[in-house]
Structure 1
Amino acid sequence: MNVLDAAPIKAYGYELGFDLIRITGAEAFPETERVIKERIAAGLMEGLPWFTSERAEVSCHPDALLPEARSIIALAMCYLSEEPEEPQDDQPRGRISRYAWGADYHEVIKPKLKQFADWLREYARREGGPELEARLFVDTGRMVDRAVAQRAGIGWYGKNTTILTRGWGSWVFLAEIVTNLPLPADEPLQANCGKCERCLYACPTGALPAPYVLDNRRCISYLTIELRGSIPRELRPLMGNLIFGCDICQEVCPVNHVVEKRLGLRQIGPTGMQAEDRRTEAEVTRSGQRPQIWLRRRDEFRPRPQVGGAPELIPLLALSEEEFRTRFRHTPIWRAKRRGLLRNVCVALGNLGDQRAIPALIHALSDTEALVRGHAAWALGCLGGEEARQALTARLEQEGDPEVRQEILQALAMMGSRNEEEDESNKKRR
């Protein structure tokens, strides 16, 4: 079977708005499968019940996903956008991971993949290729997307376990098209992180115990998004004011520093590329030259006013279920659900130590969700004061959930211990 020309395929991918398009074969990923199983056995993937050894056996074998698989088209889309305006007030605010400032990337990328597949079907027919068979993935399906990206030459593994790319750093979403089309494979990049280990030391919870190893149980992104229950008490003080996701290991990365520094030097187009720009990109791709690096201003990934990068925390505690849906539907924050987001807000307020949050946290002690009540109790214990102590004592008398009762008791004990320390300190000063 004749191998199809990949240049028009890549050119069309750029037209659709993808920033990197590479191709690899559909061979298995045995080393990735071995590593995943080792991490599962070591407990590093706890909290992700769907991440099983059985899943690894499927996701690392493209022919288990598509029996006639011949090639994988690996795609990356940069989500960097301008920073939201810095708030000019002193209100306690949280931080949200950059990828969640705009629209849910699944809703942005999936339609493009479907459009890409439709185009591939017609292209294969024109070129005398087989009738297209394809499976499409945007990180929610059974596909080891980082392994695909590495082998295809999209980027290389960073020591923080992200994929680092030339031109876009780690600020990219990954996607794949597994297909039966015979396509020429690209080579992996000859690049690595060298001796740099900044990301390992920067992680506040110690979620990166060694290069290329992530302890999911300690990762702030997991704790604020995927974890459905209570955040371990010993990790709460280490989370600062992060309420959804975490970019710390990316923010300290020198590769990303270069990307951000270059942004002012790049040509910045409007949403997507204009038609003549797209033709130029396609012509460059067909000529075999490396495509020009563009920063597209994508409206989808721009900070939404209702999300932003640093939302005011106290008002978030008053969100009803319906208000949460209205505000965060079609954004990544929807994944945490109301109870998860408010749980995170309580932790952030406890860490910030702003006494103005006490009335809102007292109100949260009566929330319908036990998860919110328990973390509100913890935050009040951190803030202290007579008003908080009285509210916790009153709530203890009527609280029926055993976990929340334990949180209240521990909060009161924490406040009592702090008072004893202050009294002892005052005695010494006298």
Structure 2
Amino acid sequence: MKMLDAGPIKAYGHELGFDLVRITGAEAFPEAERVIKERIAAGLMDGLPWFTSERAEVSCHPDALLPEARSIIALAMCYLTEPPEEPQDDQPRGRISRYAWGEDYHEIIKPKLKQFAEWLREYARREAGQELETRLFVDTGRMVDRAVAQRAGIGWYGKNTTILTRGWGSWVFLAEIVTNLPLPSDEPLQANCGKCERCLQACPTGALPAPYVLDNRRCISYLTIELRGSIPRELRPLMGNLIFGCDICQEVCPVNQVIERRLGLHQTKHPPVRAGAEGTAADGGKQQRPQIWLRKRAEFLPRPQIGGAPELIPLLSLTEEEFRARFRHTPIWRAKRRGLLRNVCVALGNLGDRRAIPALVQALEDAEALIRGHAAWALGRLGGQEARQALAARLEREEDPEVRQEIQEALSMLESRNQESEK
């Protein structure tokens, strides 16, 4: 097969809205496979049942995904936008990871990948008379996206296990096109985090026990999104008011902080400005300097019903239908109503605002045992006569054994507090 010119390919990727477009070969990723299997054996991936050794054997071998694979087009799209206005009230509020402020990124990127593949098909026929074969991936597919991004020169591994790029920090979504077309490969970046370990030190739950090692079981993003059951009691007080995802290890990263300053994201009093175009055919799609203009891509702008700091107490009264109407087609949909309200209960317990007690008492009557149990924990944290009476009354009627245990623990917490205050 004829080696195709990558310049037009990269330029078209930029036209579609991808901020970084690089290429690597379709050889296997043996180091990534080794690390994944080690982490699985050590239990660090517990709670993700699909993350198996068998999956690693497929995801680290592009030819298992596409037998004729020759190249991988690695893509990155930055999702930084103007943050929402900070509320000027004293209501208890939660925090949502930045990537989830707007629309579901899968629904944004997948159509662009399909459009890219169609263009690539015509390009291959026109330039070399070749028939295209592809497999498209964005996050959920069987592809080791960070290993691809590192080898293609999209970025380097940060010590918090994210990919750091020169132009956009770690605030990027990754995607890949595996293809049978022979394309010239780019070189990996000669960059690393040096001696910096701010991300490890900042993680409140200790989910980063060593550089480049993530303990999934302690990660707040896992606890608030992927975990389907109860959040371990010992971790709840460490989660603060985070109700969906966590950006702490990214926020403290010096690379990210430089990017945010360049984009004006620390100057929220100024109106957002239009981002300039980047990555044109003239530069051959090479790695770009960071834009100094703030991106204003509509899909990633904060939705009014989400924002970055939603009011917590009203969320506890959401019905299933209201949850669906408010969060469908957003990343928050993944947590489901039961998961989100579980997280809200934990956040309210941590904030210590007793104005939340009536809503938490009502949550003790929710049809979902998961919500009732975490509401009981929060009431135990907030304390007071109203909380104690509600917990005792619910205990008499509660049939779920896990919820009964949560209520008993909460009542014991309140009793211990009373005894301390009497000394």
Q: Following the alignment from structure 2 to structure 1, what is the Cα–Cα distance between the partners of residues 281 and 317?
A: 54
Residue equivalent to 2:365: 366
How many Å apart are 1:290 and its aligned residue?
A: 4.6
Residue equivalent to 1:419: 418
Residue equivalent to 1:54: 54
Q: Following the alignment from structure 2 to structure 1, what is the Cα–Cα distance between the partners of residues 147 and 221?
A: 21
How many Å apart are 1:292 and its aligned residue?
A: 5.1
Residue equivalent to 2:302: 303
Amino acid at match of 1:39: R
Q: Is the 8 A contact 2:78 2:172 kept in 1?
A: yes
Residue equivalent to 2:209: 209
Q: Residue by residue, what CA displacement relative to the aligned partner does 1:382-415 show, whole Å, maximum 9, x if unpaired?
A: 0000110000000000001000000000000000
Q: Following the alignment from structure 1 to structure 2, what is the Cα–Cα distance between the partners of residues 262 and 357?
A: 39
Q: Is the 8 A contact 2:167 2:289 kept in 1?
A: no
Among residues 272, 279, 284, which one is paired with 2:282 in the alignment? Answer: 284
Aligned pairs for 1:4-403 (under 5 A) are 4-264=4-264, 270=274, 277=277, 281-286=279-284, 290-291=287-288, 293-294=290-291, 295-403=294-402
How many Å apart are 1:296 and its aligned residue?
A: 3.1
Ranges in structure 1 where 5+ consecutive residues have no aligned partner: 425-430
Distance 1:54 1:43, change over 3 A: same
How many Å apart are 1:289 and its aligned residue?
A: 5.7
Q: Residue by residue, what CA displacement relative to the aligned partner does 1:288-331 show, whole Å, maximum 9, x if unpaired?
A: 76545445311000010000000000000000000000000110
Amino acid at match of 2:320: E
Q: Following the alignment from structure 2 to structure 1, what is the Cα–Cα distance between the partners of residues 245 and 176?
A: 23
Ranges in structure 2 where 5+ consecutive residues have no aligned partner: 266-271
Q: Is the 8 A contact 2:259 2:290 kept in 1?
A: no
Q: Following the alignment from structure 1 to structure 2, what is the Cα–Cα distance between the partners of residues 129 and 187?
A: 28
Q: Residue by residue, what CA displacement relative to the aligned partner does 1:350-408 show, whole Å, maximum 9, x if unpaired?
A: 00000000000000000010000000000000000011000000000000100000000
The secondary structure found in structure 1 opposite 2:40 is helix
Q: Following the alignment from structure 1 to structure 2, what is the Cα–Cα distance between the partners of residues 197 and 185?
A: 31
The secondary structure found in structure 2 opposite 1:136 is strand
Q: Residue by residue, what CA displacement relative to the aligned partner does 1:4-59 show, whole Å, maximum 9, x if unpaired?
A: 00000000000000000000000000000000000000000000000000000000
The secondary structure found in structure 1 opposite 2:379 is helix
Q: Following the alignment from structure 2 to structure 1, what is the Cα–Cα distance between the partners of residues 129 and 422?
A: 81
Distance 1:184 1:71, change over 3 A: same
What TM-score do you get using the length of structure 1 for normalisation? 0.95
Q: Following the alignment from structure 1 to structure 2, what is the Cα–Cα distance between the partners of residues 10 and 292?
A: 16
Q: Is the 8 A contact 2:7 2:281 kept in 1?
A: no
Once the two structures are aligned, what percentage of the paired residues are identical? Answer: 84
Amino acid at match of 2:321: E
Q: Is the 8 A contact 1:4 1:129 kept in 2?
A: no
The secondary structure found in structure 2 opposite 1:91 is coil
Amino acid at match of 2:393: A
Q: Following the alignment from structure 2 to structure 1, what is the Cα–Cα distance between the partners of residues 274 and 178?
A: 31
How many Å apart are 1:269 and its aligned residue?
A: 6.4
Amino acid at match of 1:251: E
What TM-score do you get using the length of structure 2 for normalisation? 0.96
The secondary structure found in structure 2 opposite 1:264 is coil
The secondary structure found in structure 2 opposite 1:127 is helix
The secondary structure found in structure 1 opposite 2:111 is helix
Q: Following the alignment from structure 1 to structure 2, what is the Cα–Cα distance between the partners of residues 52 and 390?
A: 46
The secondary structure found in structure 1 opposite 2:280 is helix
Q: Is the 8 A contact 1:65 1:135 kept in 2?
A: yes
Q: Following the alignment from structure 2 to structure 1, what is the Cα–Cα distance between the partners of residues 162 and 18?
A: 18
Residue equivalent to 2:269: none
Q: Following the alignment from structure 2 to structure 1, what is the Cα–Cα distance between the partners of residues 410 and 386?
A: 13
The secondary structure found in structure 1 opposite 2:183 is coil
The secondary structure found in structure 2 opposite 1:75 is strand
Distance 1:18 1:52, change over 3 A: same
